[in-house]
Amino acid sequence: MLVLGLETSCDETGVALYHSERGLLADALFSQIDLHRVYGGVVPELASRDHVKRMLPLIRQVLDEAGCVANDIDAIAYTAGPGLVGALLVGASCAQAMAFAWGIPALGVHHMEGHLLAPMLEEKPPAFPFVALLVSGGHTQLVRVDGIGQYQLLGESLDDAAGEAFDKTAKLMGLPYPGGPEISRLAQSGTPGRFKFPRPMTDRPGLDFSFSGLKTFTLNTWQQCHAAGDGGEQTRCDIALAFQQAVVDTLTIKCRRALKQTGLNNLVIAGGVSANQALRQSLGQMLGEFKGEVFYARPVFCTDNGAMIAYAGCQRLLAGQHEDLSIKVQARWPMEQLQAL
């Protein structure tokens, strides 16, 4: 089965062709980062309009790259939520219109299920069951995964998501959007041990997270340094390192707890923050204790992309799932509501 995957939940237009036997045939992405950067974050209306502009050229591009024609496509998968409603509607209406015209099925995919299954596109995919740490711009969740659609939420952020904390922290230090890659770049030149930031909610039991206090702690530290005439580049790097280390340690402590609690020894990390090298390293080391492994997608498939939607959609379409002709998207959509395969 050849599936066309469309991702438009936020500020990336992602399109891919995934074949159930031949694997990923083509993948194309247009990132709107430059469009939103001047505003310091994503402007939803601009995002929707840009998805409209990019969608059809990207579909033509993946068809060319794969050496396929529209007639070869057996089904279409699109992100139906969670995300920005206007942006989601572009992918959903485009998918439904083409599915109707071509007489093929279309299926709305959960964006976080896409992220969660992205490591399945790698050479050595993880086997079920495993614990998944989903860390993106909008979500921080620990999930027990027993199969596709068999998700048990173990813990989640009570306020900011991990990626959001990176973005907000970067912004208050005057760094451009998105902040995650900026902070991790500056952290490489940071002085270890100059600042010690808190590891929120690690001193009490449970698997929930809270990152908003860390942002305030960073702001106070940055302002104090400034007031003391010490607001230069090195201080920014030192703060970036202390902040990143606090997030990485906090996530590692909670992942260790989740593995102990579930008795599982494999961990999948997915979503934009899973591209972070310090996080990958720390979790890899921790998994040694469990004689297990940590799995993640290649960097371009950690952040939003069409390939993960085409893959996740293909698994569900093969099981016979598809939508009727109505166009439905959801800004919020708990993953436990998904049907098990």
Q: Which residues bind ligand KG4 (CB under 6 A)?
A: 10, 115, 136-138, 163-164, 166-167, 178-181, 184, 271-273, 275-276, 303-304
With CB under 5 to 8 Å by kind, the binding choice for 107 among Zn ion, ligand KG4, none is: none
Q: Which is nearer to Zn ion, 190 or 271 (CB)?
A: 271
Closest contact distance (angstroms) between CB of 71 and ligand KG4 is 32
Q: Which stretch binds Zn ion (CB under 5 A): 16-24, 132-140, 151-159, 215-223?
A: 132-140
Cβ within 8 Å of residue 50, ≥6 positions away? 13, 30, 32, 35
Tell me the CB-side half-sphere exposure of residue 184, using CA atoms within 13 A: 17
Q: Which is nearer to ligand KG4, 14 or 63 (CB)?
A: 14
Is-contact 154 292, C-beta < 8 A?
no
With CB under 5 to 8 Å by kind, the binding choice for 273 among ligand KG4, Zn ion, none is: ligand KG4
- 2 - beta bridge partners? 19
| Distance from C-alpha of 47 to C-alpha of 11, rounded to nearest angstrom | 6
| Distance from C-alpha of 274 to C-alpha of 11, rounded to nearest angstrom | 18
Closest contact distance (angstroms) between CB of 271 and ligand KG4 is 4
Closest contact distance (angstroms) between CB of 115 and Zn ion is 5
Phi, psi for residue 147 in degrees, rounded to 5: 170, 180
* Near Zn ion in 176-235, by CB under 5 A: none
Q: Which is nearer to ligand KG4, 135 or 148 (CB)?
A: 135
Query: Is residue 136 within the footprint of Zn ion (CB under 5 A)?
Result: yes
**Size of site (CB under 5 A) for Zn ion:** 2
Closest contact distance (angstroms) between CB of 29 and ligand KG4 is 11
Q: Which is nearer to ligand KG4, 98 or 312 (CB)?
A: 312
Cα angle 283-285-288, degrees, rounded to a multiple of 5? 110
| Distance from C-alpha of 256 to C-alpha of 262, rounded to nearest angstrom | 10
The Cβ of residue 251 has, within 10 Å, a number of other Cβ atoms equal to: 26
Query: Is residue 305 within the footprint of Zn ion (CB under 5 A)?
Result: no
With CB under 5 to 8 Å by kind, the binding choice for 259 among ligand KG4, Zn ion, none is: none
Query: Is residue 304 within the footprint of Zn ion (CB under 5 A)?
Result: yes
Is-contact 195 209, C-beta < 8 A?
no
Closest contact distance (angstroms) between CB of 101 and Zn ion is 28
Q: What share of the chain is helix, strand, coil (3-state, %, to 5)?
A: 50, 20, 35
Closest contact distance (angstroms) between CB of 211 and ligand KG4 is 11
